[in-house]
């Protein structure tokens, strides 16, 4: 028996029971929610729903006391095992990739400002239509890859400007969003996992300052300090952003601190420069077993890979139907 499981599960059930009482939840409400929960599972949308509506609260709690650059949610579209790219760094694109060319550069340092040569930036982003490879018709591997910082911690990679992303509207999560009249669009953003030996893995996102929906992110994952202003320099769109990493071992708040530090250290190790057989596998675009650490920052890759947002519109009308009572 796990005390923590009992405390969290019991507390959540108690909260829901209180909620039922406070909000006068009816049998119609109950049946509609039950059916919707079943449909979220059947559509494989639990990662989507949880990462858009819950993860930002967990992220804020997990990293409240951590020095250095702020973290932001991982979201449901990270795939481990992206290839280590070769300089000059450019995220893989299709031959006819749409979207404005974009250069992202800056420095990776420790939280106290020392450069971290060899730091790895594992980058993923949407295309100019707001779609992620591996979860849409876009070929695997597009707009995903690992970039390495140079001697002075400086990094630079070319990509294209990502577009705002919409929560898929054709599944149960989208139906809920529509039924509530919420905005389904996230502002344009670039995801990164920045790692270096001896430092905590930083999972973060940069939001483009000139994007729509900045002030209305359904995932509530935009942080003012992570909003970047793309500037035009001799015709090229440029984003400059430095990353400062917390030392691997530092005081963390909360009961799961020790466990959390161990999991993050594992994740960090695996994201390091490609050496040995695991590195070779990564270069070939395959994830080696050791490339898939498990821990609080990582779910088992096998489970995560299972999720694909539904690609065909298949309206399941029950949740949004008018209430009869
Ligand atoms: C979701 C999508 C994202 O691109 C992201 O960064 C976070 C969450 C989502 O739909 O849950
Ligand atoms: Fe995203």
Contact 130, 77 (CB under 8 A): no
Residue 132 annotated among the catalytic residues of the structure: yes
Q: Rounded to whole angstroms, how far apart are CA atoms 100 and 200?
A: 33
- pLDDT tens by residue, 173-205: 999 999 999 999 999 999 999 999 999 999 999
- List residues bridging with 12 in a β-sheet: none
- The DSSP code sequence of 66-117 is --SSPP----TT--S-PPBP-SSPB----TT--S-EEEEEEEEEETTS-B-T
Mark out the alpha helices in 82-226 (DSSP H runs): 172-180
Strands of 176-242 (E only): list them. Answer: 185-186, 189-195, 202-208, 227-228, 231-233, 236-240
Q: Give the distance (Å) from ligand 1 centre to CA of residue 277.
A: 32
Give pLDDT, residue 263.
Answer: 43
Helix (H, G, I), strand (E, B) or coil at 58: helix
45 lines ligand 1 (CB under 6 A): no
Lowest mean pLDDT among 22-31, 162-171, 244-253: 244-253
Query: Does residue 163's CB lie within 6 angstroms of at least one atom of ligand 1?
Result: no
pLDDT digits (tens, 9 = 90+) for 245-297: 999 975 454 444 444 444 444 443 433 333 333 333 333 333 333 333 333 44
Residue nearest to atom 9 of ligand 1 (CA): 52
* Residues ≥6 apart with Cβ < 8 Å to 30: 20
Separation of alpha carbons 59 and 74, rounded Å: 9
- pLDDT tens readout for residues 198-236: 999 999 999 999 999 999 999 999 999 999 999 999 999
Tell me how many degrees the CA angle 320-170-81 measures, rounded to the nearest 5: 135
Helix H or strand E segment including 38: helix 27-42
For residues 320 and 298, give the distance between their C-alpha atoms in angstroms, rounded to a whole number: 34
Q: How confident is the model at residue 21 (pLDDT cuts 50, 70, 90)?
A: very high
Distance of CA 142 to the CA centre of its chain: 16
What per-residue confidence (pLDDT) applies to 23? Answer: 98
Give me the phi and psi of 296, to 5 degrees please: -60, -25
The predicted pLDDT at position 309 comes to 53
Strands 101-110 and 154-160: antiparallel
pLDDT for residue 249:
76
138-142, 166-170, 268-272: least confidently modelled range? 268-272
Residue of the nearest CA to atom 3 in ligand 1? 75
- CA 131 to ligand 2 center in whole angstroms: 9
Which of these, 115, 114, 134, 116, lies nearest to 124 by C-alpha position?
134
What is the model's pTM?
Answer: 0.80
pLDDT at 308: 60
Q: What is the pLDDT of residue 96?
A: 95
Selecting among 63, 144, 189, 282, the annotated active-site residue is 189
Q: Is 89 in the pocket of ligand 1 (CB under 6 A)?
A: no
CA 287 to CA 290: how far, in whole Å?
Answer: 8
Q: Verify whether ligand 1 is closer than 6 Å to residue 186 (CB atom).
A: yes
Query: Are the CB atoms for 122 and 168 separated by under 8 Å?
Result: no
- Facing residues of 232 across strands? 237
Give the integer Cα–Cα distance in Å for 147 and 85. 6
Measuring CA to CA, how many Å separate 247 from each of 187, 207, 272, 282? 31, 25, 15, 26
| Segment 47-95, tens digit of pLDDT | 999 999 999 999 999 999 999 999 999 999 999 999 999 999 999 999 9
Of 247 and 301, more confident: 247
- Name the maximum alpha-carbon separation found in the chain: 67
Ligand closest to Cα of 73 equals 1
Q: If DSSP codes are grouped into helix, strand and coil, which group holds residue 24?
A: coil
Cα of 162 from ligand 1 centre, angstroms: 13
- pLDDT recorded at residue 120: 98
76 CA distance to ligand 2 middle (Å): 7
């Amino acid at each position: 028996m796990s005390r923590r499981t009992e405390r969290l599960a019991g507390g959540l059930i108690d909260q829901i029971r209180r909620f039922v009482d406070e909000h006068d939840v009816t049998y119609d409400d109950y049946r509609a929610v039950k059916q919707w929960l079943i449909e979220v599972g059947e559509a494989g949308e639990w990662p989507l729903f949880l990462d858009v509506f819950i993860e930002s609260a967990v992220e804020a709690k997990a990293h409240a006391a951590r020095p250095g650059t702020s973290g932001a949610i991982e979201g449901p579209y990270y795939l481990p095992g992206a290839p280590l790219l070769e300089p000059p760094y450019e995220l893989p694109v299709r031959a006819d990739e749409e979207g404005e060319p974009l250069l992202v550069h800056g420095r990776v340092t420790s939280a106290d400002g020392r450069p971290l040569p060899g730091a790895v930036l594992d980058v993923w982003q949407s295309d100019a239509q707001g779609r992620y490879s591996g979860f849409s018709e876009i070929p695997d591997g597009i707009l995903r890859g690992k970039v390495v910082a140079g001697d002075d911690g400086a990094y630079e990679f070319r990509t294209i400007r990502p577009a705002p992303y919409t929560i898929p509207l054709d599944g149960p999560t989208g139906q809920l969003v529509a039924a509530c009249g919420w905005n389904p669009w996230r502002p344009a953003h670039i995801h990164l996992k920045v790692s270096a030996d001896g430092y905590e893995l930083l999972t973060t996102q940069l939001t483009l300052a000139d994007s729509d929906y900045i002030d209305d992110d359904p995932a509530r994952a935009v942080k003012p300090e992570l909003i970047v202003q793309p500037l035009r320099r001799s015709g090229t769109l440029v984003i400059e952003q430095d990353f400062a990493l917390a030392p691997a071992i530092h005081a963390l708040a909360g009961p799961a601190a020790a466990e959390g530090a161990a999991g993050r250290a594992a994740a960090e190790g695996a994201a390091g420069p490609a050496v040995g057989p695991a590195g070779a596998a990564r270069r070939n675009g395959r994830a080696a077993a050791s490339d898939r650490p498990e821990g609080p920052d990582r779910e088992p890759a096998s489970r995560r890979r299972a999720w694909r947002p539904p690609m065909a519109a298949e309206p399941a009308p029950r949740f949004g139907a008018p209430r009869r009572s």
